[in-house]
Amino acid sequence: MRKLNVLLALTDQLRVQYKNMIADYSKFFSKSQGAFLGVKKTYVPKEGTIDDPKLRGVIPVATTVEEKLDYFIENTKDFIDALFSQEKTNASGLATASLVVDGNNWGTFTSLELLRLKTLIESSDLGKLEEMLMNIPVRSDSEVWFESDIETGRQIWSTELLKGVNKTTIKEPFIVKDPNLETKDIPVGYNPPVVSRDVVHELGDYTVQHFSGQWSQRQRALALKRRAALLSAITVALKEANETEAIESDLTGKRIFNYLFFGD
């Protein structure tokens, strides 16, 4: 078992790291959404046509929301565990209440644990958790997404594979026949009219498919909804915990100030 002084030292050491991680995640989710996106393009030029390398390539999804959040949980658990162990130790035997979240009883906690949990969820002192949730990147609603099977175990979604032919239009000259001269000899020095017409040429076959490790709009909305539900549950639990009888301390105002002012 760790001593309370060890918990105090550990929370002080890890507090800044935790707060910085919240800030880093908020910035990454807001500014680096390209890390959650990927694309695969193929292109096969037709015989006798010029190759176009920019129409093919692979950009893998660098990370997913689940992977980032798993890393966040793993790398903040020491601080959170120490933080609430510290509060429970300090508040041992004082006001307690059951924390019921969405109908599920999480257990009995002290008022200091509940206050610390409330601070963790809504206060900017330990980082802006709500802002981090709001900045979680989400998939575009303008695309139809399907759960991808390209990498097992990763929450990656993809669009349908789009196939097509890359084409270009070339103007070709041709001579317009004069119907008035079809049955006659062509006059000396006659210059037939020349015009151009558009001819479509196929350059190559291509495919395009987009990938995403982002959440859906619904996933992000539900995460924010659960945060609100947890805050509501904490408020109810704190109200119940605070109904306990107060314990009077021997450190009264009279005793303190009589000594300071009069030496009694």
Low-confidence ranges of the chain (pLDDT < 70): 1, 92-94, 178, 180-188, 245-247, 251
How many domains in the chain?
Answer: 1
**pLDDT, tens only, 167-183:** 999 888 877 776 766 65
Residue 263 within any structural domain of the chain: no
Residue 153 within any structural domain of the chain: yes
Q: What is the pLDDT of residue 93?
A: 63
Residue 108 within any structural domain of the chain: yes
**pLDDT, tens only, 87-98:** 777 776 667 899
Q: What is the pLDDT of residue 205?
A: 94
Backbone φ and ψ of 46, nearest 5°:
-70, 155
Residues 6+ apart with CB under 8 A from 103: none
Residue 258 within any structural domain of the chain: no
Distance (Å, whole) CA 23 – CA 261: 48
Residue 255 within any structural domain of the chain: no
Q: What is the pLDDT of residue 92?
A: 66
Q: What is the pLDDT of residue 207?
A: 96
Distance (Å, whole) CA 251 – CA 264: 14
Beta strands in the chain, from DSSP E residues, in sequence order: 37-45, 57-59, 96-101, 104-110, 146-147, 157-158, 162-175, 194-212
Residue 66 within any structural domain of the chain: yes
Range of the domain at 56: 4-243
Length of the chain: 264
Distance (Å, whole) CA 131 – CA 163: 40
CA-based angle 71:72:73, to the nearest 5? 90
